[in-house]
Structures are given as structure tokens and as C-alpha cells.
Structure 1
Amino acid sequence: MLLAGKKGLVLNVTNKNSIGWAVAERVAALGAKVGVGAQNEKMLDKVNELIAGNDRMKSFVVDFSDDAQMEALAQAAKETFGHLDFVVHSAAFAKREDLAGRFVDTSRDGFAMAMDISCYSLVAMCKHLEPILADDASIVTMSYLGSVRAVGNYNVMGVAKAALESAVRYLANDLGERGIRVNTVSPGPINTISARGVRGLTDMIKEVHDVAPLKREFGQDEVAGTTAYLVSDLSKGVTGQLIYVDSGYNIMGI
């Protein structure tokens, strides 16, 4: 199998409809042993329900805003796996009131929170996990087209995602000496519970379906497949890159 013998983390998973869970399922099905992250003890119960009966999966708790918890995660992952061949970062958050309306009205604390959870968490994750990353490990994070275009009702999250994509390039440069790859997957709008916090999601999905070159729907499964490629040895020559999974919508001028 493509990922036989690989060991890694998918951080974090919120529910069975999330992109993180689709990725965790796919990499496990391809032979990897997977640590599945939950943000807190309440979410841990949900994650444990999802992974029940799958001996390739183990749950972990990590709050991306807490450095002590991230260091504890690194120690727990070391005890469980020894080293990590891949880490998938799937974490983002912004206050609902900072997504709607005008970007210029974003609150100072809302801006800081969005940047901390949606961008800096990747940097902190790499810092804490670096000692247990294999020399050819792969790190993947998730973004969205709102990082390079002004998307209504996305606002501060678009700015945070732009920072995240830039951070990926700097991390790829820092970690490349060890052969560690860092890349970004940018899915189009997908009807997940988290995405429903963005007003007009249904209209966005319809527009992509109507305009994109591939006149077909896409979802968590396509994102999971691209992520599996990036954490596999097939992508050993790929780092610092942004890969869109949106049926080609991002290339269109209208």
C-alpha cells in the first residue's frame, strides 16, 4: 500500500464531515498509522467514536493556542510512534462577527485570534514536532482561495490564510535541509460544518460548479486524495507549493 509503514498525525478532527477526518480515513486505508487530534476533552469523545474499531488510529488532544499542550502532544506522539513521517495541519478559526460585514471593521482581538489559530499554529506545530520528524517527513496544511482574492464573508480568515501560505514557504525553506517537505492544499468551498459559518456558502458552491472547467462536484474525498499524495513518497520533489483542489475554478477569470 502507498503509505505502508508510515506514521503521522492529522490535527485536528471535529466531526465525520470534516476534511480532517476524510484525510485521516484515507491515509489509514492506504496503510499508515494515524494519530487523530481533538481540540479538547469534549471533542476527544467524538474522535474516539469515529476511530472506534480501527487499530491504525489513536486519538490525541491538542489545543493549538496552548504551547504546553503542543509540547505534550510531541511527547505523546514520540512515545506512541517513535517518529513521524507526516503531519496534516487542519486548523482554522475566526469569530463569526469578524467574517461578516466589512474587513476594515475587524476587531483587534479577533484579528489576533484568527492569525494565532489559523496561521501561527502551523509554525508552533512544526517547532514542537520537529525533533521527532523523520528526515523525509511531509507536512501539509489547508488553505482557501480567499487568501488571494477578496471573498465576501471571508474577511479576516482570508488574511490569515494568506499569512499561512507565506508561512509554508518559509517553513519549507527552514526544514528543507533535512528533506522535510511543507505544502498547502487549497480546497474549493465544501459543505462542512465549519464552512457553514461563512454566509452564502451554498451560492459559492453553486458558482464553482457552474464556472469551473471540470463541471463536477468535489468534496472531502478529492482533498483527502491530494493530501495522501503529498504525504507519500510520490511527492518527494515537491515542497513550498500550493495545490488547488477546486475543479480548476481558481484559473478562471470570471
Structure 2
Amino acid sequence: MINIPHPPLKGQKALVVGIANEHSIAYGCAAAFRQLEADLAITYLSEKARPHVEPLAQQLGAGLFLPLDVATPGQLEAVFERIDKEWGRLDILVHSVAWAPKEDLQGGLIDSSAEGFARAMDISCHSFVRMARLAAPLMKNGGSMFAMSYHGAVNVVPNYNLMGPVKAALEASCRYLAYELGTRGIRVHPVSPGPLKTRAASGLKDFDLLLNEAVKKAPVGELVDIMDVGFACAYLATPYARRITGGTVYVDGGVNIMA
């Protein structure tokens, strides 16, 4: 038998990266963790974004509220230095960051620029690898890492374009990190939510059509929401999921199983 606290995340230290507003997947994760009594560190992208994120961090009782633009040298290191100083450890990491230049995102993959592809890969994928490198030494008793993907990583989704290959690389990175970190008790989960009305998704061409198609295909007959994703991640972070790692976890109402 394993000793599981009640609630099962009580006292766990969770860093959540990627909250833009109350509709963000990252916010759903943070809210679910907090409901299970984890302690939160929340980041915001910029001073422009801060007024939208800070009230949410306060509402959730986040102990740490830190600036983080993964494309700005030194900011990622500063976040983990602060966590080490304040907490001395980390148990949960959520990476919910994706970006590509609009002109590359809204055009076909064949027309994407080398620079745009490289920036999308760095911010949306390699930043997770950099986070994992910094987080792993703080996960002294093991832990859980999450990266947000999408079904377009493994199947062609019209208008997903450049982000399809980028998310495929992110899922592969999760698998390799799960292998490399597994003996340290660290589990790595690529999570693939169904389409959600987030700010990031608004940049996709004909996104409303994608939502309508998902509703038609979903065996459960409806779209998922950010709390569905959050509670799935919360479960995976608990000892109840202690032998689950590396595989893509779909939180999409079953859309991924449909032809």
C-alpha cells in the first residue's frame, strides 16, 4: 500500500506556465491543482499580460507570481531559481505554451519560412525541454511534467498547418524525456485536449468549423472544457497514476478514436 494524502495533491508544489486568461487550459490545470490543495507558482508572459493574469493568480492563492517569456534569455532560469529559493523543491510542471508567426501559422506548411518554423519549434517545443532540464533537479522525490499537444500532431487537421509538425515534435520530446527521467521517479505526460476556445486557438483559420466538427464526431456529444483537462492532469499528478508515463493522454470526448 502507498500512503496517499487527502486531498491527494495536498502540499505539492506546482508550477503552471501559460495562463493568458480565465479561458486558458493552463488556468484549468491550476484551478484543478488548487482544488486538490497543491501550492501554486503561476507565470505571466509580459507586463501587458500581467493585469489579465494577476487577478487569477490571487484568486487561486498562488504563492509565487513570476514573469516568464521563454524566448527571453535568463527568464526561465530566474523562475526556477526563485522556486528553489522559496520552496526548495518542485512536484508538478505544466507547460502550456505555443506560438508561431501569424503569416506562417495561417499559410500552408509548404509555404512556412525557415525562421518562422524555427521560432515555433523553439517556443512551442524546445522550451519544454529547457524547463524539464531545470525542473528535474528540483523534483527530488519524483514528480510530474505536462505538455499540451493536439490531435493535429498525429493526424492531418486542415488549417493546423505548421503546428502539426511542431506538436508532433513536442509529443516525441515527452516520450524521450519520460525515458530519460523515469528512473528518477519523474513522469512526463503529453496531454492532447480537444479543440477549445482559447486565445492561442483563435489564431487558427476557420477554427469555428473545427469546433463544430469536433462536436459532431465526439462520442460523448459535446466539447471538453478547461476543467476537464485540468482534472485529468490533476489525476495524473497523484500517486493513483504512479505507473503512467510517456503516452499521449487524450482529453477530447473521444474525438481521436473517430475516423
TM range (shorter): over 0.9
Trace 1:81-100 onto structure 2 (pairs within 5 A): 81-100=87-106
SS at match of 1:37: strand
Whether the 8 Å CA contact 2:98–2:200 is kept in 1: the answer is no
1:109 is aligned to 115
**Is the counterpart of residue 172 in structure 1 residue 154 in structure 2?**
no
Trace 1:1-254 onto structure 2 (pairs within 5 A): 1-253=7-259
Cα distance in 1, alignment partners of residues 89 and 177 from structure 2: 19
Shift of the 54–222 alpha-carbon distance from structure 1 to 2, 3 Å rule, reads closer
Whether the 8 Å CA contact 1:44–1:59 is kept in 2: the answer is no
Unaligned runs of 5+ in 1: none
State the 4+ residue runs in structure 1 displaced beyond 6 angstroms. none
Whether the 8 Å CA contact 2:93–2:135 is kept in 1: the answer is no
Bigger RCO (CA 8 Å, 6+ sep): 2
CA shift, 1:53, in A, is 4.8
State the TM-score, normalizing by the size of structure 2: 0.94
Shift of the 169–225 alpha-carbon distance from structure 1 to 2, 3 Å rule, reads same
Cα distance in 1, alignment partners of residues 52 and 119 from structure 2: 25
AA aligned to 2:209 is D
Whether the 8 Å CA contact 2:94–2:147 is kept in 1: the answer is yes
AA aligned to 1:31 is E
Whether the 8 Å CA contact 2:40–2:61 is kept in 1: the answer is no
CA shift, 1:156, in A, is 1.0
Q: RMSD across aligned C-alpha pairs, in angstroms?
A: 1.3
Whether the 8 Å CA contact 1:32–1:56 is kept in 2: the answer is no
Cα distance in 1, alignment partners of residues 46 and 107 from structure 2: 30
CA shift, 1:134, in A, is 2.8
CA shift, 1:188, in A, is 0.9
Cα distance in 2, alignment partners of residues 183 and 222 from structure 1: 16
Cα distance in 1, alignment partners of residues 117 and 95 from structure 2: 20
Whether the 8 Å CA contact 1:63–1:69 is kept in 2: the answer is yes
**Cα distance per residue 1:110-153 (max 9 Å; x no partner):** 00011001100000011122221233210011000111112122
Work out the number of aligned pairs and report it: 253
Unaligned runs of 5+ in 2: 1-6
AA aligned to 1:49 is P
CA shift, 1:42, in A, is 2.6
Shift of the 70–56 alpha-carbon distance from structure 1 to 2, 3 Å rule, reads closer
AA aligned to 1:16 is E
